[in-house]
Structure formats: structure tokens, C-alpha cells
Amino acid sequence: MHNLTSDVLPPLSLYIHIPWCIKKCPYCDFNSHQENNIPEDDYVQALLEDLTIDTSFVQGRAIDTIFFGGGTPSLLSATALNRLLAGVRELVPVNPTAEITLEANPGTFEQDKFSDYFKAGINRLSIGIQSFQPTQLITLGRIHNQDEATRAANIAHQAGFKELNLDLMYGLPNQTVSEALNDLSRAVALNPSHLSWYQLTIEPNTVFYTKPPTLPEDDNLWDIQEAGQAFLKKQGFEQYEISAYAKPGHQCQHNVNYWQFGDYIGIGAGAHGKITLSNTKEIIRTQKTRTPRDYLNPHKTYLSQSSVVKQEELAMEFFMNAFRLNQGVDKAHFFQRTHNQTIPDLTHQALQRALEQGLLEEDLTSWRPTDLGREHLNTLLQLFI
């Protein structure tokens, strides 16, 4: 049993939620709201007020990554984003080399702003393509077409983005292996530095939940996944997380911080945060007021709820995140990030079962999912619940 503690706080990120989109997709269970007239000036002001309240969470650190998620953040004007980023830098220290990501849709309306976003300090763009197949785009409720998707990636390159992620889905209704590989091939041809390739799942509180489409059988899904992973590896993309593939040196640092159980401040409607308190070593989770209307209501507070993570849940939460990463986790991180001085008995038992079942491998400094563990990640994670 290891015994290691550290007073070092984990790295700190900032998540900014932009809750609006032009059209709600039938698979989407994110906190997004259909809106044509976005009160962006009021919302930027609210975001900065929200962050002002949370500045005590910084505790001497600089922000290493900033991520604009949604909704559709690219609905905001470059002027609004510029004002917001300037305000953030006035309130909290931001690392000069910070990764700053904006999620964008491929629609022409958003494309026209890419160059201005880059000038405003956004240095990583994540474009939600999902598929290049016209019928699939219609089924998924996407409002762009395949030509707009291609054009968006090209314009992102022209604007100066060296860090470009493309979002794609697989396991789409009636999708074949060749169709999935065609999507990947077209995406790779656009020269992204990163691909998010994730399985369509049916979530509660979505249109697809009440009117489910016909999804591929498990065997077909497995064939798609195997073929896609082999193709991406051949194209020079390293899988470093369940659904994340990057060219060497181009991992999404913001998401890696999540999975390594780092800290993050969350601002915006419904945003979540996770903060380690330096004085008590407690870890707290925060959630902001969910609906944009309530979030912008001056008579309501930005904070919806805040809670201390129970000591017995810390180990579970840590491993539920860490084992998403193919490289696994440093043992030192476990003790530093959870402030456990030893491994709790239940966690130790779970680790032993995972090792015995061939789902994990261990050396002196780390735990890593095996190939079997990555193939059956849910089985591995269930051991820690």
C-alpha cells in the first residue's frame, strides 16, 4: 500500500457554457435552448459577474485551459467573445499559452466569424460535423450539409487554427461499416489535428428517447468500432481516450484535465465546476442555475447548488475519470488529487478484482486499462461503483 500526500493543488481550467442553439438536435441531452435572439451583451455581463464570485477558487493558480461549450458557442459574435475573454483576463490569471477552445457548428453563419474568433484569442476550434451523409444529417436534425462541413474545416485552417477538432458520430441509424469509414475518411482528408469519434447513444429527455431510431446491432457496432480504430491508427491518430483521437502532441488539454481529476471553474447557465479547497483539502462540486432566463434574472443567484464530495466517493470518482484514458493514471495523482493517504479498502478490492480479471495492469508508478479493459470499459468502471 502506498502512502503519499501532497499540498500541491491540481491544474485549473475554466468552462464557459453558452446555452443557446438555432435548433435542438433529437439526440442532444445537453443544457441547450432553441433561441434566435440571443441577449449576448447581458449574458457576457452575467458570465463575468459569475466568475467574479468564483475568483476565490483560483487560489494562486493560473487558468491553463478555457473551453466554450454549449449549445452553440459560435452563435456569439467575435465582439462578445473578445469582451468576455478580456474580462476573464482582468479577473483571473490566464496562462499565456492557455488552450482556448470554442465549439462551433459548420453552418455558413458561423464560418464567417472563424477568422475573428482566432484574432480574439481562440486557438482551438471544435466543429460539430457528426456525419457527411446527407440522410444521416437529416435524421440527426443537423442544419448544415456536407459541403458546409468541408468548407468550415477549410476556412478554419485559412483563419489560422492549427488546433482543429472535428466531431463525428458512429452507430448511426442503419449505418454500415463502409459508411462509418467513409465519414472518417472524409474527416481525415480535412487535416484536423484531433478527432472526437463517439457512439450515438439514446439519452432520456431527448426526442430519440421517445421516438427511437433503428440503431445497428451490437455485433455491427463492434465491427464499426474496430474498423474505425484501425483506420485512424493507420492515419496517424493516437486514441488516448474512449472517443478521442489526436495526432501526436495535439490532445485536448482541457478534457485531459477533467479525466486526470483536475480542477475547473464552471460559469454560465447550468455549468458544473469541481474545486479543491487548499485550506481543508475538501473537494466541492458546483452547479449554476440551469435555464438562461433564471441565470439572467437579477433576483436569482448564479449558484444553484454546491456540495462537498464525500471521502468515500472520491476514489470512485477519480477512477471513473482516470480509466477513460488509455495511458491510465499515475499512482501519485491518486493521492495528490483525492488527498487520501492510503487506498481505501473497497477501492483496493476493486483494483485487485480488475487486475485478476485482466482489465487492468499495474507497475510501480501507474495503473492502466489493458486492451481487454478498454474493450470492456463499462465492466471495469462498474467495479468501482
226 lies in the same domain as 87: yes
The candidate with the shortest Cα–Cα distance to 46, out of 301, 256, 273, 255, is 301
Q: What is the pLDDT of residue 242?
A: 93
Alpha-carbon separation of residue 277 from 85, 347, 352 (angstroms)? 25, 23, 31
Q: Is residue 306 part of a domain?
A: no
CATH number at 368 reads 1.10.10
Query: What is the reported pTM?
Result: 0.95
* 51 in Cβ contact with 91 (< 8 Å): yes
Residue 341 falls inside a structural domain? yes
- Domain of residue 354: give its range: 311-385
Both 333 and 204 in one domain: the answer is: no
Phi, psi of 11 (to 5 degrees): -60, 160
Query: Is 7 domain-assigned?
Result: no
Both 107 and 24 in one domain: the answer is yes
Structural domain includes residue 163:
yes
| Same domain, yes or no: 226 and 363 | no
Strand ordering across the sheet containing 329-330? 329-330, 366-369, 360-362
Last residue of a domain, one of 231, 257, 283: 257
Cell representation of residue 362: 499495474
Query: Quick check: helix, strand or coil at residue 29?
Result: coil
Same domain, 205 and 343: no
Contact between residue 19 and residue 32 where contact means Cβ atoms under 8 Å apart: yes
65 and 213 inside one domain: yes
Of the candidates 109, 110, 107, 114, the residue with the CA atom closest to the CA atom of residue 130: 107
Adjacent-strand bridge partners of 286: 273, 306
Q: State the cell numbers at 40.
A: 449576448
pLDDT value for 1: 33
Q: Please check whether residues 209 and 320 belong to one and the same domain.
A: no
Q: Do 236 and 352 fall within a single domain?
A: no
Same domain (yes/no): 181, 327: no
Give domain status of residue 226, yes or no. Answer: yes
Query: How do beta strands 263-267 and 238-241 pair?
Result: unpaired
Residue 153 lies in a domain: yes
**Which CATH number characterizes residue 234's domain?**
3.20.20.70
pLDDT per residue, tens digit, the chain (385 aa), is 333 334 589 999 999 999 999 888 889 888 899 888 899 999 999 999 999 999 999 999 999 999 999 999 999 999 999 999 999 999 999 999 999 999 999 988 899 999 999 999 999 999 999 999 999 999 999 999 999 999 999 999 999 999 999 999 999 999 999 999 999 999 999 999 999 999 999 999 899 989 989 999 999 999 999 999 999 999 999 999 999 999 999 999 999 999 999 999 999 999 999 999 999 999 999 999 999 999 999 999 999 999 999 988 898 899 999 999 999 999 999 999 998 888 888 899 999 999 999 999 999 999 999 999 998 998 999 998 8
Domain boundary among the residues 215, 233, 257 is at 257
Look up residue 325 and give its DSSP letter: B
Total domains, the chain:
2
CA distances (Å), 21 to each of 26, 136, 197, 206, 330, in order? 13, 20, 22, 15, 39
CA-CA distance, 165 to 13, in Å (whole number)?
19
The per-residue pLDDT for 108 is: 80
* Shared domain check, 320 and 253: no
Confidence at residue 7, expressed as pLDDT on a 0 to 100 scale: 59
Please give the sequence-ordered ranges of beta strands (E in DSSP) within 230-344, or none if there are none: 238-241, 244-246, 263-267, 272-276, 283-288, 303-308, 329-330
Length, in residues, of the chain: 385
- My answer on whether 208 and 347 are in the same domain is no
Q: Which of residues 224, 257, 290 is at a domain's end?
A: 257
Residue 258 C-alpha cell reads as: 477533467
β-pair partners for 126: 103, 165
Calculate Rg over the CA atoms of the chain.
Answer: 21
90 part of a folded domain: yes
Q: Do the domain assignments include residue 81?
A: yes
Q: Are 213 and 349 within one domain?
A: no
